[in-house]
Chains A and B, each alone.
Chain A
Amino acid sequence: MSAFVPDFQAAPPPRSGRGQRSSPWTWRWGDRLVLLCAWTAGLGLCAIAAAIVIYMGYRGIEYLTPSLLVTRPAIGTSQAQTGGILDPLIGTLLLTVIGIVLAVPLAVASAIWVAEYGQVGRARQAFARVVESSIEIVAGTPDIVLALFGVAIFQLGILAPLSFRAEGGGVYGRSFIAAGAMMSLIALPPLFVATRDGLRAVPMHMREAAFALGKTRIATIRRVLLPSVRSNIATGVTLGVSRIIGDTAIVVLLLGKTLHIETQGSTPVLGLLRGTGSSLTSYVYDNSPAGEGAAPQKAYAAAFVLLLFVLGLNLLVDRIGRSNAQSTGMSVAGGIV
């Protein structure tokens, strides 16, 4: 059930020759209606996407000032006093880094195992199936359920030192580590699928040539296979990043959407990681009329920054896919979601 999608590059072959195509004007009314609906649906969706980007761009340029990006949020009664979005920006970047750093080794290692070791022998095939289905389960699990799971495990006694401690000593399982760990689960499926499919697409004779030169299996993986799937991993990372920065539920439940980044303890890096904060998404959520802040101008500004990130990542996926298609003649499964 993983959400992977083609880049639609398999375009249909050219239309049939001149004069052979029947004109829609000779069709029955029902068929003409379907044709009209198809055009409306396709153009309508494009129009909706354009409207969203243009409207958010208009609002963003209206409300986003450079000073907003570098000032910290503050408590105030009017929108002029509530400060900027520096802390949410840092929060988003920090979560992305933690999530990706945790997800890449897990996803790449399990993809290598499944594609390279899990193909021979009954027990191994069974285990490879189990790994693949667990990743599918993660891909199909709503982020809100993952967030609740995070709350459950980071409230446990053993993991409590990793998260923020409230005044009275209560552990709510909230910290950058907790949120980042769950973010890595969100980024796991696209990374895993991209890497596994890349490895499967590497021709067998490349492995055979490496074995013939006396390389061991792991040396083949490190020196031959991993370099050749580098662009697949890059696509997976980009997809993972765009899922992480777009996620709200995990931040709201596991980071606590506090206004400022609040550190826990005095150790420099660890204190930050154990602290709470906010991200762009939770900032938008909190400042929309649905949240407590009710500062729509700030919400628009932050949402515009978020949309710019998403647009940039989309372009990046396209470019990686295209350069890979040029260099190897294979197309990477560029994906959505």
Chain B
Amino acid sequence: MLDRLRNPWSDNRAELTLGAVSLLVCASVIGMIVFVFIRAWPIFEHNGLSWLGPGGSLKTQLENMQATSVHPPASAYHLRAWPIIYGTILTTGVAVVLGIVIAVLSSIFIVELAPARLRRVAIPVIRLLASVPSVIYGLIAILVLVPFVGNHLISSPQKTSVQNSVQLTGEGLLVVTVTLTVMITPIMIALICEALAAAPRSWREGAVALGLNPLRAMLAVTLRAIRPAIVAAAVLATARALGEAVMISMASGASFFTPNLSHGVPIFLYEPLRTLASTIIDFSEGIGAPALDSTLYAFAALLLLSAFVLSIGGYLIKLPLRKYQVRG
């Protein structure tokens, strides 16, 4: 008895307590997935999977949902969300592809090319770029980039040529993609730099000894060896870009318009759009109308699902690349 008072944490009890806390963490994660899918169910129930496709005006569909009362009729659940899914794929895809190229090049710069003094400055600076909150990126995008694009890049003939379908103000695909690229590149740089620094130097030295110049040896040998790390970085960056809500909600023009390639390439880049995550935050004021709620949860479920598919996909891509893997 006295022993128990002196030493209240017996080993068994300690392990059980710590294990219970871990169980709580797991339970809340499983709870999250279950909750989101349960709340999203009515949309799947009324639309099947065809809500992912095109059809009708998404704007009127969402306004109908907002207008209905606590007991919405089945017709209020009608949803065809293709415009914002297209917007999500477009912004994420372009930003990630651009981001990979820039990240690989700047990682080579940081690890290999930059003089030691410059490297000491560049590393914390790029790390800072990764930790700037997205609302600050959004603020800069909407107060600096959007006026610049709207006043200097878009000419008035371009504005009048599409004025029947959409107003070009500068808010749109171009500003969103550029800002998103700046946001996700530092995350990739961090992972790629780590892998580059960990790759055995002797492999490259061998290539140089065989007559390649140092840069070509870097590209041909080291970069090939760290492909798993590049895939991991791309997966992480894609997840980040998919979930970015605040910056896109501020800079995208918040319109259900789908950028239309038939308008020609420069105009296409200036056209406004919406993504899954930014739509959730734009319509968060309307939470409380059951039909709209379940739509927003359906968008969230789609985001969760794609994050899941991404990490599985990344794992599968990495498997055959592991032959020359150095780390990760």
Indicate whether B246 reaches chain A with its CB closer than 8 angstroms: yes
Contacting chain A: which of B49-57, B76-84, B136-144, B256-264? B136-144
Chain B 87-106 against A: per-residue CB contact (8 Å), 1 yes, 0 no? 00000000000000010011
Does A151 lie within 8 Å of B287, measured CB to CB?
yes
Instruction: Please judge, given known A-B contacts A12-B111, A144-B277, A288-B143, whether A336 and B131 are in contact too, CB under 8 Å.
Output: yes
Complex CA gap A270/B104 in Å reads 50
Indicate whether A188 reaches chain B with its CB closer than 8 angstroms: yes
B154 to chain A: which residues have CB within 8 Å? none
Complex CA gap A222/B7 in Å reads 12
Complex CA gap A284/B138 in Å reads 9
B62 to chain A: which residues have CB within 8 Å? none
Does A42 lie within 8 Å of B110, measured CB to CB?
yes
- Closest residue to B35 on the A side, CB-wise? A152
B180 to chain A: which residues have CB within 8 Å? none
B11, B128, B243, B250: the one contacting A142 at CB < 8 Å is B243
List residues of A (128-166) whose CB comes within 8 Å of B's CBs: 130-131, 134-138, 140-146, 148-149, 151-153
Does A55 lie within 8 Å of B296, measured CB to CB?
no
B32 to chain A: which residues have CB within 8 Å? 138, 141, 145-146, 149
Kindly provide the distance from the CB of B273 to the nearest chain A CB, expressed in whole angstroms: 14
Instruction: Please judge, given known A-B contacts A3-B236, A290-B249, whether A218 and B11 are in contact too, CB under 8 Å.
Output: yes
Does A153 lie within 8 Å of B22, measured CB to CB?
no
Number of interface residues of A (CB under 8 A): 103
Indicate whether B122 reaches chain A with its CB closer than 8 angstroms: yes
Instruction: Please judge, given known A-B contacts A12-B197, A248-B135, A290-B250, whether A144 and B243 are in contact too, CB under 8 Å.
Output: yes
Does B140 lie within 8 Å of A55, measured CB to CB?
yes
Does B136 lie within 8 Å of A284, measured CB to CB?
yes
Does B105 lie within 8 Å of A253, measured CB to CB?
no
A37, A242, A249, A306: the one contacting B105 at CB < 8 Å is A37
Does A39 lie within 8 Å of B131, measured CB to CB?
no
Instruction: Please judge, given known A-B contacts A52-B140, A106-B21, A134-B26, whether A21 and B214 are in contact too, CB under 8 Å.
Output: yes
B21, B126, B244: the one contacting A46 at CB < 8 Å is B126
Complex CA gap A212/B215 in Å reads 54
Number of interface residues of B (CB under 8 A): 105
B149 to chain A: which residues have CB within 8 Å? none
Kindly provide the distance from the CB of B105 to the nearest chain A CB, expressed in whole angstroms: 4
Indicate whether B15 reaches chain A with its CB closer than 8 angstroms: yes
List residues of B (293-328) whose CB comes within 8 Å of A's CBs: 296-297, 300, 303-304, 307-308, 310-311, 314
Indicate whether B46 reaches chain A with its CB closer than 8 angstroms: no
What are the nearest 9 A-B pairs in CB distance? A142-B243, A42-B109, A246-B133, A5-B190, A218-B14, A336-B130, A109-B21, A41-B105, A134-B29
A13 to chain B: which residues have CB within 8 Å? 201
Does B126 lie within 8 Å of A45, measured CB to CB?
yes
B28 to chain A: which residues have CB within 8 Å? 185
**14 A-B pairs whose Cβ atoms sit less than 8 Å apart in the complex:** A1-B239, A43-B109, A48-B129, A149-B300, A152-B39, A172-B288, A216-B9, A218-B11, A245-B133, A288-B250, A290-B254, A311-B128, A318-B124, A336-B187
Indicate whether A80 reaches chain B with its CB closer than 8 angstroms: no
